[in-house]
Structure 1
């Protein structure tokens, strides 16, 4: 019987699995290294498989999310000179019962956190290690504090401390691309409500604009870079991206000029190969800590929500912790491995020098070449399965 679970990381996966566990009557406590849950300069896409999972965890939450974000109705793709390559309508709501929803990362985090009692989220708790035996896991924090739990979940992202102690597979792999992103209130005649507009060039650069609702726009740029070095100052970051995308059609330079230097996030794009095992004893991984993905299919958060639902079901219904974590892995690994691999291959291909041609072909053939994958991906429905 599982009574207490310690979760490392108050990101989207950590907060959602805490909700899922507490709905099952399990005392889940979240431990986050940050002193405050600060706004993050990013938006993200929620799609049917993730939204169905969140709705199963917390009925009614998807209506809160829809009110806070923007439901995408159209995708457009342009060349860097502004020429239209292709466009298509988004019909996920009609097909799968949930939309493609663009939302601010920090807004989503805030909504998820609001579903938990404040005493279940512990800030300024940096995990530095853990020990386990047949009866419990003891988690150690930088402050010297320790806590005991029946199960430990590492939901602490790409650079997971729990993963390094558990698996020890070193730093993530640099994918050869740098990314820049920000969220700001911004309007432009070419940026339409409920639309995602992407621009691409023959040298593998990509720039995207995402309507987040309430006047907010998320922009994201990426370019091939042999070295994944981070700029030393915020001013240098802004100068670097303005140089990378100089000469691009409006509104690229306009939105970059309007973005405060302090709000631009620069990151090397990284991922990891699929793992053979996510769990040892009483410890397991979830979300990006288990199966990080480069940003292409927008499945990082959505698969974490799937993980959260299934892990809570396993821990609630299985006859032992060992059986629960084995069932969790057996259910989640095959699906996430397919998404990881397809994501990595597609992203690597999209950033090659002929990305204009490749992405245009993707737009034209989406209904044909990706129909089965889309059906399999978005038609995921969380169900009450017998995990014993």
Structure 2
């Protein structure tokens, strides 16, 4: 009788749950190590592109996809101060799902054999497993076992607020508003709207009080386009998530020995391309069939690393353009 391969997944967020749901319970004995399981109840909304929704369907999470997928006018870039359109909109088939719903859908897909341990893993090398997967986000401890030189996350100096509004946005107000050192975005949901901001801030360290952050944002974004001010004026602190923006260092590999990285642990990036959650899901679902296979893992890494590292760099470039105060020169003729 064959023995199952023991897999320890460090991190019970989107990447970790998606991998645990995708792994064959007949081949793998899976344990998820998560220090803060209560975090699943918090969060705003996430954008998933079609490749990510196809991956969710492969593991049985199609219901959450069907419930939240819609044709959304995206790509509209506006001047933050005036609201003037700088880049025209285009329709895209997107899934914009509340984070708690996505995590609940992934939980529902887990095989009954998956074990859960509530613990902070400070030394992943001590885990008694054949394979250790770092799905532990931008603060990853597993990353140091794969990238041995300077594995620490990198600060961007920016603060991000993400919130939900019960008021559906006017179609003409949807999009991103770019200005010097400030960015605002507004996206429609099935019910209400999802909004987000980015700006330089001295608030900290984390965790940051949402009321203080919201007060600062209202001050920093005073005098901008009316739709932005209206959303921020009606924002409720209890529905706002506040985080400093950090990115992962550049990676030349995602696997070393028995250690593998997925999601933000491998390629945390600024949120400007809307790819973070989706790439984490694709990482996990595409890794599951080859985990434990040396050559299969090498092929997986060869596919995923250039694409996700390219997205990491590109998202930073978009962030720099959005906050440069110069987008009019590049986009104003569109």
* TM-score class, shorter: 0.7 to 0.9
Aligned to 1:22: 24
State which of 182, 185, 188 in structure 2 corresponds to 1:211. 188
Q: Which SS does the other structure have where 1:36 is aligned?
A: helix
Aligned to 1:284: 260
Aligned to 1:67: 67
Aligned to 1:330: 302
Distance 1:338 1:233, change over 3 A: closer
Aligned to 1:368: none
Cα distance in 2 between the residues matched to 1:121 and 1:187: 40
Report 1:159-178 matches (<5 A).
Answer: 159-168=139-148, 169-178=150-159
Aligned to 2:175: 197
Superposition deviation, residue 278 in structure 1: 2.4
Q: Which SS does the other structure have where 1:198 is aligned?
A: strand
Cα distance in 1 between the residues matched to 2:5 and 2:265: 23
Cα distance in 1 between the residues matched to 2:219 and 2:312: 31
Distance 1:304 1:258, change over 3 A: same
CA RMSD of aligned residues (A): 2.7
Deviation string, structure 1 residues 210-241 (Cα, Å, up to 9, x no partner):
1121x23211011245x574585333211100
Contact 2:246–2:270 under 8 Å retained in 1: yes
Comparing 117-126 with 99-108, which one deviates more in the overlay? 117-126
Aligned to 2:230: 254
Report 1:101-120 matches (<5 A).
Answer: 101-117=95-111, 120=114
Q: Does 1:304 align with 2:280?
A: yes
State which of 212, 216, 219 in structure 2 corresponds to 1:240. 216
Q: Which SS does the other structure have where 1:220 is aligned?
A: strand
Count of matched residue positions in the alignment of Structure 1 and Structure 2? 329
Aligned to 2:197: 221
Deviation string, structure 1 residues 158-210 (Cα, Å, up to 9, x no partner):
1112223553535321223222111232235x257xx8422223x24211111
TM-score by length of 2: 0.87
Structure 2: tracts of 5 or more residues without a match:
none
Distance 1:305 1:157, change over 3 A: same
Superposition deviation, residue 347 in structure 1: 2.1
Superposition deviation, residue 268 in structure 1: 2.3
Cα distance in 2 between the residues matched to 1:286 and 1:126: 18
Superposition deviation, residue 153 in structure 1: 0.4
Contact 1:204–1:354 under 8 Å retained in 2: no
Superposition deviation, residue 156 in structure 1: 0.7
Distance 1:103 1:89, change over 3 A: same
Cα distance in 2 between the residues matched to 1:8 and 1:250: 44
Cα distance in 1 between the residues matched to 2:182 and 2:39: 32
Q: Which SS does the other structure have where 2:255 is aligned?
A: coil
Superposition deviation, residue 117 in structure 1: 4.0
Contact 1:152–1:283 under 8 Å retained in 2: yes
Aligned to 2:311: 339
Contact 1:22–1:28 under 8 Å retained in 2: no
TM-score by length of 1: 0.76
Deviation string, structure 1 residues 245-281 (Cα, Å, up to 9, x no partner):
1112233222223222233222222213321232222
Distance 1:184 1:125, change over 3 A: farther
Aligned to 2:55: 53
Q: Does 1:41 align with 2:43?
A: yes
Cα distance in 2 between the residues matched to 1:29 and 1:282: 15
Structure 1: tracts of 5 or more residues without a match:
92-98, 132-137, 140-147, 365-388
